[in-house]
Amino acid sequence: MTGITPLSHGSLTIKGLQPSEARSSIGYVPQNNQINWNFPLSVKQVVEMGLIRKNTFSPFSTKKNNKIVEESLSKVGLLERIDENINNLSGGQIQRVLLARTLTQGADILLLDEAFSAVDIGAEEDVMNIINDIKQDGKTILIATHDINNIKEKYDEVLCLNRHCCAFGDPSEVLTEGVIEEMYGSHNQILKEHRPGSHGNQNGN
Amino acid sequence: MGIEFLIEPLKYDFMVRALITAFLSGIMLSVLGSFTINKNMGFMADAMAHATLPIIAVGVFFGFSISSLGAPAAIIIALLLGFIIKNTNIGEDTSIGIVFSSFFALGFVLISVLDVSINLEDLLFGQILAVSTLDVFIIFGLSIVVLSTLFFFFKQILFYSFDPIGAQVRDLNVTFLNYLFLIILSLSIVGSLQTVGIVLVLSMLLIPAAAAKLVSQTFVKSIKISAFFGGVSSVAGLYLSYYFNLPSGPTMSLVASGIFGISFISKKLQLNRKLINS
């Protein structure tokens, strides 16, 4: 969806645009291990990255950008930590900072990659509450996760993938034992029987 | 002692040129060093310094001076290293190791085959007291180019260094930023070879930045402190080498090491004090 990995088959459009052309619509929260935590950056610096563009040539922050950063941080409840070193924050707080970064962009679609892999249950709930608040603002939120606990309570729709689409729809309807086994069960047997494009329409969409 | 101590070496033109060159190199290297240590690119920087040898050998064979070869050599090495790392799947360290050792070996072979008159000791440990006025202008120009590039691309390079995938999704040109950083890093390293030499350039790049990281809380502050440590190490090292008749490049490196030692101890003491108070 971010246009970074080429499609192996089928097609994908976002608001009628190719993924690489629709990047301004997407706010991305990367996996924790994709970030270089060596850099002793402040919370403000990380959130402000959401406002950096190809034509950003000033190392200084404008008043307008500072205001956007402060508003985004107050939405995730971390305004008082604005000058703190990001490495001093807990896993849940870091996720909230990265969410605030996507909010500065004003993107309509938020893409969260394994957002809860480095957070405890309490922090996960806090992040989930913020995500629900963001949803109320009319944004679409997509979360990639391997954790299927409480999916029925947390998510409106679920797309189950294991190299192909196993199921899609209301989690309380589609998340059957068979689908769960198809995703996490005996892969050898499943892969023998399923190939990309064997579900859905002929184009693999 | 006092002001006389500082003024006396300035009676000599070669010392003035050396001080300007050392100061500029010290600042340029240590500012870039703050990025280098956080990006874990120390080995890459070492490879860049060593890989210059064959280019310098061929250049000197065709009548160019070592300092005038700096910029083209730096760009060739940066592009080559970046290309090999991106297009092989043998691991970054391995790719760098191959380029590093092959180029260094090729350099020695070329020096022998072409019968080039290069003083290897000067190349390895620097010969700052021999810098010409042209060398001063070259290092001044390089400093302006490197530091202004870093100034204008600071936020983009920082974003890319911290979160490469996030930067790509944000539509930054990450391939361009990657090569841009490699080129300015290589320019600063190759441009400083005359000052501290191939072996010691790494110490001026990494040690002030590492010491600054120990004593600062934020990245921007660590860059400022690193520049200060880099400038002080270079100038103090040069004065010490003048008064105690020591080799200048190694003395500058040792001053930087001393600053690191003091920073390390003060950090430890600070942590201990915090533990006792808590």
Model confidence over A22-76: pLDDT tens digits? 888 888 999 888 999 999 999 999 999 999 999 999 999 999 999 999 999 999 9
Interface check for B165 against chain A (CB to CB < 8 A): the answer is: yes
Interface test with B, best of A36, A37, A58, A61 (most B CBs within 10 A): A36
Closest C-alpha to A111, from B170, B70, B249, B35: B170
Q: Which residues on chain B are in Cβ contact (under 8 Å) with A49?
A: 155, 158-159, 162-163, 166-167, 170
Residue A78 lies in a domain: yes
Distance in Å, alpha carbon of A172 to nearest chain B alpha carbon: 32
What pLDDT shows up at residue A190? 52
pLDDT confidence bin for B72, thresholds 50/70/90: confident
Residues 6 or more apart whose CB falls under 8 angstroms from that of A81 comprise: A43, A73, A89, A93
Q: Indicate whether A96 pLDDT > 80.
A: yes
Interface check for A18 against chain B (CB to CB < 8 A): the answer is: no
- Please give the average per-residue pLDDT across B228-235, as a whole number: 96
Closest C-alpha to B31, from B162, B217, B160, B184: B184
Of A26, A36, A38, the CB nearest to B169: A26
What pLDDT shows up at residue A204? 41
Distance in Å, alpha carbon of A34 to nearest chain B alpha carbon: 7
What distance in Å separates the CA atoms of residue B263 and residue B222, rounded to the nearest whole number? 12
Question: Which one is the CATH code of B3-277: 3.40.50.720, 1.10.3470.10, 1.10.1200.10, 3.40.950.10?
Answer: 1.10.3470.10
Rounded percentage of chain B residues whose pLDDT exceeds 70 = 99
Residue A152 lies in a domain: no
Mapping DSSP to helix (H, G, I), strand (E, B) and coil, where does residue B174 land?
A: helix
What pLDDT shows up at residue B41? 92
Q: What are phi and psi of A165, to 5 degrees?
A: -80, 115
What pLDDT shows up at residue B178? 92
Closest C-alpha to A142, from A88, A102, A178: A102
pLDDT per residue as tens digits for the range A175-196? 888 888 888 775 555 555 555 5
Decide if A134 contacts A29 (C-beta within 8 A). no
Q: Indicate whether A87 pLDDT > 60.
A: yes
Q: Which residues on chain B are in Cβ contact (under 8 Å) with A53?
A: 170-172
CA A82 to chain CA centroid, nearest Å: 22
Q: Indicate whether A148 pLDDT > 90.
A: no
Annotated domain spans of chain B: 3-277
Mapping DSSP to helix (H, G, I), strand (E, B) and coil, where does residue B66 land?
A: coil
Q: At A132, which CATH number?
A: 3.40.50.300
Residue given tokens 């850099």 in the structure block: A39
- Please give the average per-residue pLDDT across B55-66, as a whole number: 82
Q: Indicate whether B194 pLDDT > 80.
A: no
pLDDT confidence bin for B257, thresholds 50/70/90: very high
pLDDT confidence bin for B33, thresholds 50/70/90: very high
CA distances from B278 to A18, A81, B273, B274 (A): 56, 22, 9, 6
Residues 119-158, chain B, touching A (beta carbon < 8 A): 151-156, 158
Interface test with A, best of B37, B163, B173, B175 (most A CBs within 10 A): B163
What pLDDT shows up at residue B205? 95
Interface check for A54 against chain B (CB to CB < 8 A): the answer is: yes
Residue A65 lies in a domain: yes
- Please give the average per-residue pLDDT across B35-47, as a whole number: 92
What residue numbers bound the domain in which A41 lies? Answer: 28-147
Decide if A205 contacts A168 (C-beta within 8 A). no
Rounded percentage of chain B residues whose pLDDT exceeds 90 = 55
What's the number of domains chain A is made of? 1
For chain B, give the mean pLDDT. 90
Task: Determine whether the interchain pair A30/B38 forms a contact, defined as Cβ–Cβ distance below 8 Å.
Answer: no
- Please give the average per-residue pLDDT across B45-63, as a whole number: 87
- Please give the average per-residue pLDDT across B254-263, as a whole number: 96
Q: Indicate whether A202 pLDDT > 50.
A: no
What distance in Å separates the CA atoms of residue A52 and residue B220, rounded to the nearest whole number? 17
Give the CA-trace dihedral at A121, A127, A130, A135, to 10 degrees: -100
Rounded percentage of chain A residues whose pLDDT exceeds 90 = 38
Higher pLDDT, A199 or B127: B127
Interface check for A162 against chain B (CB to CB < 8 A): the answer is: no
Residue A175 lies in a domain: no
What pLDDT shows up at residue B238? 93
pLDDT confidence bin for A124, thresholds 50/70/90: confident
Q: Indicate whether B220 pLDDT > 80.
A: yes
Higher pLDDT, A108 or B65: A108
What pLDDT shows up at residue A203? 47
ipTM of the complex, rounded to two decimals: 0.86
What pLDDT shows up at residue A151? 81
Decide if B66 contacts B56 (C-beta within 8 A). yes
For chain A, give the mean pLDDT. 85
pLDDT per residue as tens digits for the range B153-162? 999 999 999 9
Higher pLDDT, B86 or B229: B229
